[in-house]
Amino acid sequence: MSWYGKEGSMSGVVLSSRVRLARNVEGVPMGARLSAQKAAELIDGAGEALTGCGRVDFQRIDRMTAAAYAEEHLVSTEFASSDAPRALYKNEDEDTYIMVCEEDHFRIQSITPGYSLAEAYSRAAAAESKLAEKFRLAFDPELGYLTHCPTNLGTAMRASLMMFLPALTRKGAIAPLSRQLSKVGMTVRGMYGEGSDAVACLYQISNQVTLGITEEETIKKLTRLADTVINEELKCRGELLELDPDGVADVCSRSFGTLTHSRVISCREFMENWVNVRLGVSLRELSGKSADLGIPETLTYKTLDTALIEAQPAVLTLLAGGGELSPRERDIRRSSRLRERLGG
């Protein structure tokens, strides 16, 4: 079960924590210069190093299955859509994924549910150690880990949090937040659309700086910033409920009604309503479960986050059996799956 099917801490604001390490093998060409034979050696070698991991050969799976991995945020979209030889290794706990022959030879990615950056880092580092036993990883004492793109030099680590920020989005606070973060070497980007069009109100906050700062310092810094963002978001959510409790209850109830009673629902309409329902679950928590927002008490973030992933086109198509679906057929399937999931 992937990150979205597990309980995590601070899930009201943080859906998942992710640490990605880029690593390359000394003396082996990268990117377009990597031969098919060398790529195969890297892929097989990684398999020997990463004992206990399952292997998925991306050249042997169909486009839809590959796209579904990207929609689950388990691989990059570039990796999913490439034609080059490449493979994914995933551990048994399904929290660490190693892309072999992405832009870099290895992209180790650990994704843990909720607010758990340190845990994600330790898992990624464990997978890296296994690879380092088998391969001589490209490293320079001054530049750190040597990467295909010079922007990643250094720790070659990207630590990120997938954050749900509906109250800050409504307040128009994302643009100023983005400016503030960039001043301290961090960045924020919309997960489904950018800026004001970030319909799902989901943002990825991550470090930009990789040279001259240790992995631990990066994680501490990101955590400190995320704490501030979480507090601001929760404060704004509290204000929403205080200012107009009936209005909020109305919006949440209607959205829950739409998700559970539609028969045809587009991805966009789904996401707009999903935001309100997820916010509703959080507001009920904030109010000490006193607020009646028309959402059943049994509804969890885990269920909602699973619904979000299942509503995406490729995952939805696979769940429906994998055959080609027209957009309308997808909208019908999305709706029936939602009713099943959320009990409409």
Interface residues toward another protein, by CB under 8 A: 24-33, 41-42, 45, 103, 125, 129, 132-146, 148-151, 153-155, 157, 209-215, 217
Cβ-based nearer residue to another protein, 119 or 329: 119
Residue 103: CB minimum distance to another protein, A? 8
- DSSP letter, residue 103: S
183 CB-near residues (< 8 Å, 6+ apart): none
Cβ-based nearer residue to another protein, 140 or 292: 140
Cβ-based nearer residue to another protein, 80 or 342: 80
Cβ-based nearer residue to another protein, 46 or 225: 46
Cβ-based nearer residue to another protein, 151 or 196: 151
Distance from C-alpha of 13 to C-alpha of 178, rounded to nearest angstrom: 17
Residues 267 and 312 sit within 8 Å (Cβ to Cβ)? yes
Residue 141: CB minimum distance to another protein, A? 7
Token pair recorded at residue 171: 């307040």
Element containing residue 276 per DSSP (H, E): helix 267-286
Distance from C-alpha of 51 to C-alpha of 49, rounded to nearest angstrom: 6
Residue 343: CB minimum distance to another protein, A? 46
Terminal alpha carbon distance of the chain:
24
Identity at 81, one-letter amino acid code:
S
Cβ-based nearer residue to another protein, 27 or 52: 27
**Among candidate residues 20, 3, 204, the one with its CA nearest the CA of residue 110:** 20
Residue 161: CB minimum distance to another protein, A? 20
Cβ-based nearer residue to another protein, 82 or 273: 82
Residue 133: CB minimum distance to another protein, A? 7
Residue 252: CB minimum distance to another protein, A? 41
Distance from C-alpha of 318 to C-alpha of 72, rounded to nearest angstrom: 12
- Kindly list the strands in the beta sheet with 54-57, ordered across the sheet, starting from the edge strand earlier in the chain: 54-57, 87-90, 96-100, 106-113, 14-23, 157-164, 202-207, 186-190
Element containing residue 252 per DSSP (H, E): helix 245-261
Residue 42: CB minimum distance to another protein, A? 8
